[in-house]
Structure 1
Amino acid sequence: MALRVRLKGVTGKSRQGWRFMDKNNYYVVRANTLEDNVVCTK
Protein backbone atom coordinates (compact mmCIF):
# COMPACT_ATOMS: atom_id res chain seq x y z
CA MET A 1 0.00 0.00 0.00
CA ALA A 2 1.26 3.48 -0.81
CA LEU A 3 -0.08 6.83 0.29
CA ARG A 4 1.12 10.19 -0.94
CA VAL A 5 -0.16 13.40 0.61
CA ARG A 6 0.70 17.04 0.03
CA LEU A 7 -0.14 19.49 2.77
CA LYS A 8 0.04 23.24 2.91
CA GLY A 9 -0.47 24.49 6.42
CA VAL A 10 -1.03 28.05 7.50
CA THR A 11 1.24 28.53 10.50
CA GLY A 12 -0.56 28.80 13.82
CA LYS A 13 -4.04 28.48 12.35
CA SER A 14 -5.27 24.90 12.60
CA ARG A 15 -5.06 21.22 13.42
CA GLN A 16 -6.29 18.66 10.91
CA GLY A 17 -6.68 14.89 11.01
CA TRP A 18 -7.45 12.07 8.59
CA ARG A 19 -8.40 8.46 9.20
CA PHE A 20 -8.17 5.55 6.79
CA MET A 21 -8.23 1.75 6.83
CA ASP A 22 -6.85 -1.07 4.77
CA LYS A 23 -7.72 -4.77 5.07
CA ASN A 24 -5.87 -5.26 8.37
CA ASN A 25 -5.02 -1.85 9.82
CA TYR A 26 -6.46 1.48 10.92
CA TYR A 27 -4.39 4.65 10.45
CA VAL A 28 -4.65 8.19 11.80
CA VAL A 29 -2.66 11.13 10.45
CA ARG A 30 -2.65 14.43 12.31
CA ALA A 31 -1.14 17.64 10.98
CA ASN A 32 -0.73 20.36 13.58
CA THR A 33 0.47 23.76 12.39
CA LEU A 34 0.25 25.09 15.93
CA GLU A 35 3.06 22.71 16.98
CA ASP A 36 4.68 22.42 13.50
CA ASN A 37 4.41 18.63 13.22
CA VAL A 38 2.74 15.72 11.43
CA VAL A 39 2.07 12.43 13.24
CA CYS A 40 1.00 9.13 11.67
CA THR A 41 -0.16 6.27 13.90
CA LYS A 42 -1.19 2.74 13.01
Structure 2
Amino acid sequence: IGISGQWDLCTDRITFTHNAGSMIPYHRNLTTKGYRALIY
Protein backbone atom coordinates (compact mmCIF):
# COMPACT_ATOMS: atom_id res chain seq x y z
CA ILE A 1 0.00 0.00 0.00
CA GLY A 2 1.40 3.37 -0.95
CA ILE A 3 0.49 6.98 -0.49
CA SER A 4 -0.24 9.05 -3.57
CA GLY A 5 0.66 12.60 -2.67
CA GLN A 6 -0.01 14.75 0.36
CA TRP A 7 -3.29 14.74 2.31
CA ASP A 8 -5.30 17.96 2.21
CA LEU A 9 -7.75 18.86 4.98
CA CYS A 10 -10.78 20.30 3.18
CA THR A 11 -13.30 20.84 5.97
CA ASP A 12 -13.49 24.55 5.15
CA ARG A 13 -15.00 23.64 1.76
CA ILE A 14 -17.64 21.23 3.07
CA THR A 15 -20.75 22.44 4.88
CA PHE A 16 -21.71 20.15 7.76
CA THR A 17 -22.78 20.32 11.39
CA HIS A 18 -20.13 19.39 13.95
CA ASN A 19 -22.65 18.67 16.70
CA ALA A 20 -25.74 16.80 15.57
CA GLY A 21 -27.02 16.31 19.10
CA SER A 22 -27.98 13.01 20.63
CA MET A 23 -28.41 10.08 18.28
CA ILE A 24 -29.93 7.86 20.98
CA PRO A 25 -33.53 8.30 19.73
CA TYR A 26 -32.44 7.28 16.20
CA HIS A 27 -30.56 4.24 17.50
CA ARG A 28 -33.52 3.23 19.67
CA ASN A 29 -35.86 3.54 16.71
CA LEU A 30 -33.62 1.38 14.51
CA THR A 31 -33.02 -1.31 17.12
CA THR A 32 -36.71 -1.65 17.98
CA LYS A 33 -37.31 -2.33 14.28
CA GLY A 34 -34.71 -5.10 14.32
CA TYR A 35 -31.81 -3.18 12.77
CA ARG A 36 -28.36 -3.03 14.28
CA ALA A 37 -26.92 0.30 15.33
CA LEU A 38 -23.31 1.17 16.05
CA ILE A 39 -22.68 3.70 18.80
CA TYR A 40 -19.20 5.15 19.02
Normalised to the residue count of structure 2, the TM-score between the two structures is 0.22
Between the two structures, name the one with larger relative contact order (CA 8 Å, sep ≥ 6).
Answer: 1
The structure carrying a bigger strand percent of its residues is 1
The structure carrying a bigger helix percent of its residues is 2
